[in-house]
Every structure is written in C-alpha cells, then in structure tokens.
Chains A and B, each alone.
Chain A
Amino acid sequence: MWRSIQLRAGLTAAFLALSIIFLIPTLVDPLPKWWTKFLPTEKINLGLDLRGGMHLLLEVETQKAVESALDKYASEIKDVLAKKDIPARQVERTPDGKISVLLLDAKANDRFSQVRADQYGNLKVASFREQDGKFQYLLEMDPREAKAIEESAVRQGLETIRNRVDQFGVAEPVIVPQGDKEILVQLPGIKEPQRAIELIGRTALLEFKLVDEENSLEEALKGNLPPGSEILYQKVAEKDTGVVTRRPYLLKKRALMTGDVLTDARMRIKSDFNEPYVSLDFDSRGARLFDQITAENVKKRLAIVLDNNVYSAPVIQERISGGKAQISGSFTPEEATDLAIVLRAGALPAPVKIIQNVTVGPSLGQDSIDKGFRAAIIGSILVVAFMIIYYGLSGLLADWALFLNIVYLMGALASMRATLTLPGIAGIILAIGMAVDSNVLMFERMREELRLGKTVRGAVDSGYEKALFTIIDSHVTTLITAVVLFQFGTGPIKGFAVTLSLGVVINLFSSLIGTKVIFDWVNFKKQLKRLSI
C-alpha cells in the first residue's frame, strides 16, 4: 500500500513539475539565458480573437494562371508561325480555354501540322474543321498540365505572399494552404490592416508595354480597337484638389518585359522634388533585354504597367544599358515602400480574391483578455469557496484537483504550442466543469457509504470504486465526441475539441490519482474516525 501511495504521489508531483516547466515560458518574459539552453521555450499563443490581428482566407484564381499559360502558348505559336512564314490568323486563346489557329491554305496546314507535332505535342487537337480551303484548329491543354499549373500557382502564390509578409515585418505570421486553392494568412497584432491587405492581395504583375502610336486613341475609345492593342488607364490625382481622374492610353498588348527579371526594388526620394519613387534593378538577362528594347524604340513611349494600371509612360530618350529603371507616380512614402516590397517579392502567378477577412483590433483583443481573465478569477473563487463550504476539508481536496487540472492542461497546451482561442476557452470551461463533477460524484458516493455506517477508509475506497465507472463512462463519451469534432471540424470547432479532449484525459488522471492518493495517505498515516466531507 505504502509503495503504491509513494508511486502515485511521485507521479502526480512529476507531472506537476513538468507542467510548470512547460508553463514558465508562457508566464515569464524574457526567459533567463540558462533556461533557453536546456529547457523548453514553447509558449501558449493567444488566438487572433483574443490578442487582435488579422485572419485572411484567400482564394487563388487558378483559372487565371491556366489562361495566362494558354496566352503564352498562343503568342509563342504566333511567333513561330510568323518566323516560318506560315500564313495564319486568329492565333489566340478562346474564351472557353482553348487556342484557335486558322491556317489560310493547305500548304500552311501541312507545315503547321509538322510544327505542332515537333514542338507542341502536349497540345491536343480538340476540333479541326476545313472550309473553303482554310483550316481551323482548336487546340487544348492536357488536363493534367492544367492541373499542374493550378497547383503550382497556389504553391508559388503561397511563397510569394510569405515573402511579402516577411519583408513587411510581422511577428509569427501563419501562412498555410487550405483545401485545393485557398491560402490562409494570419497576422497577429497587425496595426495597419488596410495596408496589409493591399500588400498581400495585390497581384503585382509588372509589365513594360509600348504605347501604340500608329493608331489613334480617339478611334480606339470609340470602339475601333486595333488588333493587338488595348486601352489601359493611369490614375492621376490632382495635387491641389485630390480629385482622381483616369487618363487612357492605347498600348500594344504584348509585354516586352515583365517583372520577373527584377533583382531589387527600393523606395527612394527624388531630392529636388522631395517625391518618393521606386527604383528597379534588373538581372543580367533583364538588363540585356531592357538595353535592346530601349535601343530599338528610341523616341517612342514605353509604358510601365502594374496590374493593368499605367504608372507612367515616359519617352525613351536614349538607349539605357545600365540595367536600371524607375517607377514614379504620385506616391506617398508608404505606398512607394509597399510597392517596392511587392515588386521585390515578385508577382503572384494568379490573382487572389479575399473570401474571408476577420480583423480584431488590439483594443478589443485586450478587452476580451482582461474581462475573460477577471471572469475566470471570479468564477474560480466562487467554485473554490463553494466546494469548501459544501464538502469541508474534502472540498479543499477537490480544489487541489482543480488546481492540478488547470496546471496540467496549461502545461500540455504550452508543450504543444497550442493557440488559445475563445472556443478553446469554452472547451476548458467544460473540462473544468467535468473535473468538479468527478469530485462531486466521488464525494456524494462517500457520503452514501458513510451513511450506511462504513468506516472512513471503507467509505473512501468503495466510494471511489463505485464512482470510477461513472466517471470513466461520462469522460469517454465526451472524449469520443471531442475527438470526432477534432477530426471533422474546422477552425473554431477544432480549437474547442483540442482543449476539451486534452482536458478530459487529464481530468481522468488527476481526479482518479491526484486526489485519491491524498485520501489514501491520510488514511494510511492515521485511522480517521471522522471524515470532513
């Protein structure tokens, strides 16, 4: 008997010590140096609902990535056909995601078939039609290739967003994929939510396009858009009034260069006007390309287009070979800094849509913590007092069990680096309710046994034994539901299930071993005539 008491008491104490060691990093800040060397540093994190922050769910429009891959194929094919002097028209992506090619004679058809077989074996012929000596092809992408493009769009998008967030400087961000094409972004404690959304949600596709000066902008605005050109707008803010107008540009559709050749982008300030701008550095390929583009188009206008907005369209004065360029517009310093960040981090392979945005300001978060904490303290005092009043010294034991429970649970949560959210706290409340219930069940049983005239020791033993199965049954039932909720639930429901299932398991231990061992100890040391219960 004595050995068993020693063993159980030792186990209880060991777990208590372990829990406290795991809890220290959460409670003490900063940790002493020697601690971080040998002992755990995992912390319980507070969820965004408690400490404030931003929770975004982004949907990657993967279809757009497939479309731009198709566009790329179409323009490549067009180039190849032009180079080989194969007469063709309508080489373009169709709205339903195929590439159409119209060949003007039979010879062209033969030569095109050859090119297709040699270079574009991965594009299947979806339909083929011959009419009036012309040949109409519809090519389609292998669904597996499309799938791979979609998957890589999500993966790359995730990387890019992580890059941007890192450069923006947010402590402990969470950026993970969710489902097939969703990305979950959590930014705790963020101060400027609008700015963060701009930074994350922006596609940041930088393109250099020539201004179409052979055709008239007026005609195009009337609806006579020349093939191969497009109208894009520049937002111009009037300096004095702040009124924003949109200035149209007629641009060649084809981008001469895109932002993937950048090595660096920085916010700088023009000394003479005190005006922020973004300087760009190209890699060697980009530098060569830019050199070539500027050399071939001197005195023409080159538009700098970001996400289909024209930022500026300066005239190329001379060949530029240094591998540098700049974007100016009427930026504030923050806008220029953020633009530099997104350009450095690179473009998203496909646009993203924000489908869920939950932002909790730091003031509400703090408010919730303070009030929740106060309520928890008041509730605990009430329960502790009630148990002592109702069950006397035994009630004190129940309070001890409650203390063990809470410390064990918090220690376990800390060791798992769990994130505590409001639903998680609900789970803890339920678990603590069950912990109290376990003790009430035992004490009521003991009272019954005492009423039957048993000795203190007999009453304690049979009370425990009889309550044991009730406790196991009610805990296992709860555990089953909690585990299933964990498996199938999402977000908040999961948070609830984690704390509840942990709490239930811990409670089984602490009520069946933690308190019983003290009863046994007292009974072993002296024969109690009366039990304060």
Chain B
Amino acid sequence: MGIELLGKTNFDFIGKRKYAFILSVVLVALGIFAMVQLWRGQANLGIDFAGGTSVQLKFEKPFQLDRARQVLEANGFKDSELQQFTEGNKLLIQIKKAAGGERVSDKILAIFTKEFADNKFVVDSTTEIGPKVGKNLRDDALIAILVSAIGMIIYIAWRFEFSFGVAAAIATFHDVVAVLGIFFILGKEVNLLLITALLTVAGYSLSDTVVIYDRIRENLRLRPRDFLGDVMNSSINEVLSRTLVTGITVFLVLLALFFFGGEVLHDFSLALLLGLAIGTYSSIFVASPIVFEWRKGKKVKIRTRR
C-alpha cells in the first residue's frame, strides 16, 4: 500500500493572487530586461548566437588560470573569456568576435602548445561560428517559438475557452522569461542548449497548466452556480497532490542530471530545475488567476461536450 503526502487540502490560492502577481511582475520584468540586454548585445550571449570562437582544452596536470589569461593577452587575445573546470583540469576559452579569414582556434592552440609545453593537453572541442549563422539561428528559433505559441493558444481556446488559451500562453511565457532572467542575473551564458532547456520548461509548464484547467472545466460543469474563484480553488486543491508527486519525480531526475551529468548538462539541468519550480508555481498562481480576473464577472462558456 502506498503512502500519501497530502490529505485533503483547502488552500485559498485565488485569494493570494495579488501577492503572486507582484512576484510574477518582478520575475517577468527581470526577464524582459534580460531580453532587452540580449538584444542589445549586453548579455552573455553564447557564441552559437553571437558568433565567435570557443576552445576547450583538457590538460594533463592542474594549471593556473591566471597564467592562461596572461599568455592569451600577451598574444593579442585581450577579449577572451576563460573558465576553469577543476574536474579533469579543463579550460574553456571563448572569444566572442566573429572570426575573420584566419582561424582563431588554430592560433589559440599554437599559443598553448608553445607556452604550456610542460603541460600537455588534448582538445575537447572547438567551435567557430560566423556572425550570419548566429543571426539565422536566432531568427529561426524565434519564429519556431512564436508559431508554436499560436498553435497552442488555438488548441486550448478550442478545448476550453479563449481566455484559458491566452492565460496559458502568458503563464508559459512567464516561466520561460523568468528562467531567462535568473540566468541573466547569474551571469550564465545564453546559448542553444539553454534555448532547448527553455523549450522543455515551456512544455512542462504547459502540460501542468492544462491539467489544472481540465479539473476546473470539470468542476465548472458539476457546479455551474458556484463562484468561479471557489471552483478554481477547489480544483487546484484537488489536483495538488498530483502536482506535487509529478513535480517530485521530475525533480529527482533533474537532480541526478545536475549532479552527475557532467559540465555539458550542468547549466542545462539548472535551467530545468528552475523551470520546474517556476512552472509549477505559475500553473497555480498565474494561469488560473488570469482567467479569474478576466472572467470573474461573467459566465465562463466551456464546451460542454468533451
């Protein structure tokens, strides 16, 4: 026989919506600020979008990060960004200026072969991306995300009601933007892998929202005369244990990825962990309260046939 974390609960989620809105506005403002900074090229945009060169080296022995920086600066790479992974003596060098004719990665390798002659290394990865490619990639990603948001609103509007569709889109946008904002504050890099993580967050948050909407729809049909706020509150409470259990399982997987997945998956799983928390919060405190504010005076017209 299994166990139960939550018995029957009766929290007033809708009543707390003012506090939630304040928090969400702060999160979204932060995220939008981050987006503006990204647009202006002020944020830590990965070279896959900005264009440039990145080289990751794996040394045999530990090395001094300062020395690596000096060596690069002495050889004319002043704008390089260095990052050290102590596990495995790894060094990541990024130069965010689109390479011209000459191959920057070759030069960097030559410098390190010469200056670190006593400490051999292997090349883990090199990336060189022209400015045009980065721009194309960004535009493609934006178009894909926009169109999928529209498709989603249409489906939810058809299955539920227009206000539900828009609210779900806002909640999803809220989550993606909030994670982006937090990453910006943390100074983490915005690259293609983060975009994938954000898409995953959007997918999770969306299905979380739909689950709650579904229960609201069901209860609206059972109790057509009750206040919308009451119906919403009891619906959220009814699915609360599901929200918690699913959240915990996904959390467990992400925790494993975060701690054991290696450096490539580290930031990726961090974004997903943040997204999991914010996505769960937003389905309860953003998606439903928006519908509530929108429809509180009027009757919600839900499709009666399923």
Contacts and interface: CB of A to CB of B under 8 A. Distances in A.
B56 interface: yes
B252 A382 contact: yes
A498 interface: no
Contact of A470 (B140, B210, B249): B210
Interface string B199-243: 110111011001101110010000000000000000000110110
A493 interface: yes
Interface string B244-282: 011011101111110111101100100010000000000
Given A371-B260, A371-B262, A422-B193, A430 B155 contact: no
Interface string B29-66: 00000000000000000000000000010100000000
A434 interface: yes
Interface in B145-169: 145, 147-149, 151-152, 155-156, 159
A59 to B, nearest CB: 8
B217 to A, nearest CB: 9
Interface string A389-403: 111101100000000
Interface string A421-462: 011001101101110110011001001100000000000000
Nearest to A447: B4
Interface string A464-486: 00100110011111101110110
B1 A532 contact: yes
A440 B195 CA distance: 28
Nearest to B129: A356
A426 B196 contact: yes
A480 B246 contact: no
Contact of B249 (A193, A354, A374, A433): A433
A441 B249 contact: no
Contact of B197 (A49, A371, A426, A437): A426
B206 A477 contact: yes
B175 interface: no
B219 to A, nearest CB: 12
B148 A480 contact: yes
Nearest to B159: A473
Contacts of A448: 238
Contacts of A475: 207
B253 A478 contact: no
B204 A430 contact: yes
Most buried by B among A354, A390, A440: A440
Contact of B156 (A440, A477, A492, A532): A477
Contact of B207 (A355, A363, A474): A474
A481 B202 contact: yes
A484 B261 contact: no
B25 interface: no
B260 A492 contact: no
Interface in B10-39: none
B297 interface: no
Interface residues of A, number: 80
Interface in A485-505: 485, 487-493, 496, 500
Contacts of A259: none
Most buried by B among A193, A469, A480, A487: A480
Nearest to B257: A375
Nearest to B212: A470
A477 B155 contact: yes
Nearest to A398: B249
A346 interface: no
Contact of B124 (A59, A363, A423): A363
Most buried by A among B1, B148, B151, B204: B148
Nearest to B123: A361
B185 interface: no
Nearest to A353: B130
B211 A356 contact: no
B210 to A, nearest CB: 4
Contacts of A530: 1
A491 to B, nearest CB: 7
A104 B112 CA distance: 62
A433 B218 CA distance: 24
Contacts of B241: 444
A367 B106 CA distance: 24
A358 B48 CA distance: 10
A480 B207 CA distance: 12
A372 interface: yes
B210 A490 contact: no
A306 interface: no
A489 B140 contact: yes
Nearest to A490: B140
Contacts of B144: 484-485, 487-489, 493
Contacts of A429: 200, 253, 257, 272
Contacts of B143: 488
Contacts of A496: 196, 199-200
A429 B258 CA distance: 13
Contacts of B4: 447
B141 to A, nearest CB: 6
Contact of B147 (A355, A444, A488): A488
A191 to B, nearest CB: 11
Contacts of A493: 140-141, 144, 192, 195-196, 199
A180 to B, nearest CB: 12
A174 B25 CA distance: 47
A194 interface: yes
B246 A532 contact: no
A478 B201 CA distance: 11
Interface string A360-396: 1101100110111011101110110011011110110
18 contacts: A49-B264, A354-B128, A355-B130, A355-B132, A357-B126, A361-B125, A378-B256, A379-B256, A390-B2, A429-B253, A447-B4, A469-B306, A476-B155, A477-B207, A480-B148, A485-B148, A489-B140, A532-B1
The 7 A-B residue pairs whose C-beta atoms are closest, nearest first, are A371-B262, A379-B256, A355-B130, A474-B207, A484-B148, A488-B144, A379-B253
